[in-house]
Each structure stands twice: as structure tokens, then as C-alpha cells.
Structure 1
């Protein structure tokens, strides 16, 4: 099958959606399918052979974060050229409700189109206001996928219609087989004098990722377990992150900066506890799946999406959102209970199998097969162009 996948966000600044698209593309290629990904990217960005650049992206505030999107007449022309050259059996666009390549592709293409919705935002006024513009694109979508029940709910409430829920995928073996890194490991149950390590992965300067909540909890954790270290991997201002932490405690926080996929897996294999203190805007929680795959006990805020990923709290523990005291109490209890941590490792490792790409990709392929059965291949829709979508002259 010839498959075209469209990324709404820039390949230059990796995030959950881009990782999902990358891993899906590589899994499908390994199965023998021909896959091309269209994504925003700067001219000097190294790209895998299956990725085509649609040009440079610009930062746009979106869903409580800053997304790097690519939108406009030049982008639309590149979408059309990609469609002409691809001769795809099916197009898979991501986030077509954002002002991005996904929306442009829906406007520009005709034929089997699958769309995945990642966003969970039940109060999105922008999405409601944009519905008249989005309607023509949404009507061309043959099948809809939501990565969680909460992303599906956002779609239903704001845009109408429905979607099948297929979660984000993870290469479980990649994380399970990673080698722990000695300098990132703590003493665990057999060597408490060496201290223990707590892990956090996420953008440091994005408040909804929750690092400030964890920093507020850290003094109480260190007061009882002073040898504990917090390992932080992610982009952002490190000095700002520890500004409110007592100076004598700042040395217990180690910033690793951006880490490779390999080091992310090694970090998750090394820590005694992984904490996800995210405060909102999450439709899934791929980092929780990665942590469970690596065998890390998980403590997460009780966001609806996190609760679902953690099987209602059976595969990981939850604390009340934005409550640093509750976070500290839960972390201390888990750090002091090696048997409970071992139990969480076992429960998480079993639960995470349903998110492996061998399962998730098969479900996505089933959707592709449904929409392509008896249908003509994808072609550029020459009836109307981008200018007409906004009420200008026809192209």
C-alpha cells in the first residue's frame, strides 16, 4: 500500500505527535508498505529518506503550548505537488482541526483520507469559532481516529461526528531492552545509602508539563530522604526551574538537557520512580507508556487521560492534580516501599503490551483497508483552492 502521512508540527522540534508519526511510518515501512511523510522543516534539518519538507514552520500558541506550524499559499502548493508525485492509496493526516498541513491536505486532496485527532481540549473556543472553515475539510475525511477517549470527546463536542479510539503506539521492546546507566541509578532497596533517583522528562519551561509542581514537592521529599536525586531531561531554562528551590537543595537536581531516544530509554530504565506531574492539556500520555515499557514505577497527576493510560490507577499511582504536598507524600511512600515499586513494574509491564506498535499499527492498517476498499487512489482536488476557502478568488 502507498501511504502518505501528514505531520502538522515541525520535524525540527520533536514532540509526541511527531514521534507517533515517525514510529508509525517506520513500522509500516518495515512491514513492506511504501510511506511518505510530509512535514514542516527548516532547510538545514536532517530528514529521514521517507520525509519530505513542506518548508519552514512558525511558532503559534496552540492548546496551552507553542506549536510550530506551516500554513499558507506556498505550503498549499507544496502539498499539491506532494500529492501529485505520491500517487497514494490513502492519506493519513494528523490534527486537521489546527491551522496546519493536515487542514491544507484535506482541502487539497480527494480520495481516501484518514485523520487522527490528538488534542484534548473540552473548552476550545477557537475550535468552535473555526468550525465553518473546517467543515469543508472534515466532510472529506473518510475515517477518524482519536488517540484517547478524551480526544474523541473533544472532536464530538466541537466538530461533530465520531471516531474510533486507537492509542498512540510504543516500541515496547526498545524501552524494555535498554541498558540502565550507572550514574543515573540510585541505591534502590539494596543500597539506600546511595540514594534514589526520580525521573522527569518534558519541556522545562512549559508550565503544563508540571515541573514547577514537582519542584514545590521536592523540599518535602528531600527533608525525609536527603540523598534522593531528581533527574530532569528536556529543553528549557534550568536556572529558572530551580529558582524557588532552597539553594542547599539545588545540587540534588541534575539537568540532562535534550536526550536521544536511546538515552531516554536508559534514563527510564535507571530511575527508581518516574513522576509525571502534568497539569492539563494532555489527550494521552505517551511518556507514561514509555516509562512502563522500561519498567519504571509511575506516579502521575490524576488527569483523565493519565488515569485511562494507567488503567484507572492499577498500572501506576495517581495523585491530585497540582497538589505538591500529595505528590511529595506519594513519592515518599513509594520510595520507601520497594515491594510496591516492584509490583508497579510488573503491572505496568503487562498493561503496556496493548500499546505496542504490533497492536496499534494493525488497528490503523485495518482503518486504511476499510477506506480504500473499492475506492480510487488519492488525487489532488482541482475544484477549489486555498484562496476560495477564505472567500477570495478561485485559484
Structure 2
């Protein structure tokens, strides 16, 4: 099968959607399918052979964060050329409701289209306002996937229709087989995420850390991710800053090693999460998870049986739960055992099969949909490059 996948966010800035698209593409290629991915990328970015650059992205506020998206006449021209040259059996668009390559592709594409919705935002005014523009394009979609019940709910409430729920996938074996790193072991708490993005919740963890040290003075905190480490460290008392190590951006291999090494993986996120891929990666690596009780996190952690939950934003509760878990090896071992069983449902062997089943459904007897036959004049202007 010839499969075209559109990633809306810049390939050179790590994120959950980018990782999902990359891993899905590589899984499908291992199965023998021909896959091409279209994504924004800055000049000079090293791209896998199956990724085609749609040009540089620009920063756009989106879903409580800043997304790097490509949109406009130049991007539309590159989309048209990629779609034409690819002659795909099916197109798989991610986040077509965002002002992105996926929406541009939806406007100009012909043939079967599958769309995956990642966003969970029950009060998205922007999505409501954009609905008249989005509707004609979204009507061309043959099948919809939501990565969680909360992403599905956002889709239903704002755009209508429905979707099958297929979670994000993880290569469980990659994380389970990683080699722990000695210097990251021993009473350690791990955090991975953009440290200057408030919704990731690092500030909550740093507020909790002095209390954790009062009860478990041997504890260290390892922080990996993009952002200003000095500014983040300023949230801690000066005497405690040597107990926190900021690792900066780390490779996929080191991420797996970090998760294999720590005693607890902390996810203090404050909102805007539709899934929580890092929780699945942590469980795959055998790291006991302590996460805020966001609905999406609770679902990923099987209601708190495969990881522990604390009230979102409550630094005191986080500190108490972390100190107790650090002092209870038996509890951590039990969480690892439950998580090891639970996480198999997120392995690509399962998730990939579910996605392929959707592809096969929409390609069987699919009729061609001509481009531009159901889009607004405004959309036609952009898709043709003005």
C-alpha cells in the first residue's frame, strides 16, 4: 500500500505528534508498505529518507502551547506537488483542524483520507469560530481516529461526527530493553518535557521538591527537555539546586535509559493533554509513574492501577506521594508489574494493526473525490496559492 502521512508540526522540534507519526511510518515500512511523510522542517534539518520537507514553520499559539506550523501559498504548492507525485492509496492527516499542512492537504486531496485528532480542548473558541471554514474540508475525510476518549469528545463537541479511538503507539521493547545508566540511578525522580512550557508542570514539581527532600534527603531530580534551566532552577532555594540536574535535550536512546534508571517518573502536567505518550514510555521502561490526575492521564494509567495519581497542581500532594513511593520498594515493584501488563495494549504491534484496519476499510471500493468540489472560495484561494 502507498501511504502518505502528513505531520502538522515542525519535524525538528520534538513532540508527541511528531514521535507518533515517525514511529507509525517506521512500523508501516517494516511491514513492507511504501510510506512518505510530509512535515515542516527548518533548512538543514537531517530528515529520514521517507520524510519530505514542506519548508520552514512559524510559531502559532495553539491549544495552550506554541506550535510550529506551515500554512500559506508556498506550503500549499508543496502539498499539491507531494500529493500529485505520491499517487497514494490513502492519505493519513494528523490534526486537520489546525491551520496546518494537514488542512491544506485535505483541501487539495483526492481519494481516501484518514484523519487523526490529537487535541483535547473542551472549550476551544478558535475551533468553534473556524468551523465554517473547516467543515467543507472535513467532509472529505473518509474515516476519523481519535487518540483518546478526550480527543474524541473534543472532535464531537466542536466539529460533529465521530471517530474510532486508537491510542498513540509505543515501541515497548525499545524502552524495556534500554540499559540503565549508573549515574541516573539511586533515589532519583525523572521529568521529561519542555521546561519553559507552564502546562508541563515542572514548576509544580520544583515547588514540591524541598518537601520531598525533607523526608527523603538522598533524593535527586533529573530534568530533561528544552528550555531555560537557569530560570527554572531559580524556583528552588539556592541550597537545594545541586540536588537537581538539568540534562537539556536528550536523544531517544538516552530518554529510554533515563526512564529505565529512575525510581519514579513524575508527570505534573496541568492540562491540555489528550493522551500522555510519555507515561506509556515510562511504563514500558519499568519506571513507576506518579502523574497529575488529568482525565487523559487517568485513562492511560488504567484509573490509577498502573501508576499513581495526585490532584493536579497540588505540590503538597505531589511531595507526599513521591516521598511515600520512594520509601516503598514493594509498592514500586507492584506498579512495575501492573504497568508491564497494561502497556502491551499500546505497543505498535496492536496499534499499527488497528490503524491498518482503518486504511483497508476506506480503500476498499473507495471512489475518487475531486479536489475543490466541496471547499469554500477562501480555501480555494489558499490551496491554489492565491
For residues 263-274 of structure 1, what are the structure 2 equivalents within 5 Å?
A: 263-274=254-265
Q: How do residues 1-395 of structure 1 correspond to structure 2 at under 5 angstroms?
A: 1-186=1-186, 196-376=187-367, 381=371, 383=373, 388-389=378-379
Q: Which runs of 5+ in 2 are unaligned?
A: none
- TM-score normalised over the length of structure 1: 0.95
Name the CA distance, whole Å, in 1 between partners of 2:82 and 2:382: 24
Shift of 1:42: 1.4
Distance apart, 1:382 and its partner CA: 5.6
How far off its partner does 1:387 sit?
6.1
Q: CA–CA distance in 2 between the matches of 1:105 and 1:374?
A: 22
Query: May I ask how many residue pairs the two structures share in their alignment?
Result: 385
Secondary structure at 2:338's aligned position in 1? helix
Contact 1:231 1:255 (8 Å CA) reproduced: yes
Equivalent residue of 2:43, what SS?
A: coil
Q: Check whether the contact 1:293–1:348 (CA below 8 A) recurs between aligned residues.
A: yes
Give the Cα–Cα distance (whole angstroms) in 2 for the partners of residues 48 and 364 of structure 1: 22
* Distance across 2 between alignment mates of 1:393 and 1:283: 29
SS at match of 1:61: strand
Gap change, CA 1:340 and 1:393, over 3 Å in 2:
closer
Assess, with a 3 A threshold, how the Cα gap between structure 1 residues 19 and 298 changes in structure 2: closer, same or farther: same
Moved >4 Å (runs of 4+): 382-387, 390-395
Bigger shift: residues 173-182 or 383-392: 383-392
Q: SS at the partner of 1:110?
A: coil
Query: What SS is found at the alignment partner of 2:141?
Result: coil
| Residue 384 (structure 1) shift | 7.8
Counterpart CA distance in 1 for 2:317 and 2:270 is 14
Cα 1:21–1:317 change in 2 (3 A) is: same
CA distance in 2, matches of 1:95, 1:251: 41
Could you tell me how far 1:110 is from its partner in structure 2? 1.7
TM-score by length of 2: 0.97
Contact 1:83 1:380 in 2 (8 A): no
C-alpha distance after superposition, 1:158-208 (max 9, x if no partner): 00000000000000000000000000000xxxxxxxxx1000000000000
Q: Distance in 2 between matches of 1:155 and 1:376?
A: 25
| 1:362-394 Cα shifts (integer Å, max 9, x gaps) | 0000000000001257x8726588864277898
Please say if residues 387 and 393 of structure 1, whose CA atoms lie closer than 8 Å, have aligned partners that are also in contact.
no
SS in 1 for 2:265: strand
RMSD in angstroms over aligned alpha carbons? 1.6
Unaligned runs of 5+ in 1: 187-195
What's the CA shift string for 1:109-147, capped at 9, x where partnerless?
A: 121000000000000000000000000111000000000
User: What CA deviation, in whole Å up to 9, does each residue of 1:227-266 have, x standing for no partner?
Assistant: 1100000011111112121111000000110000000000
Q: Distance in 1 between matches of 2:381 and 2:175?
A: 50
Question: Is the CA contact (8 Å cut-off) linking 1:73 and 1:386 kept in structure 2?
Answer: no
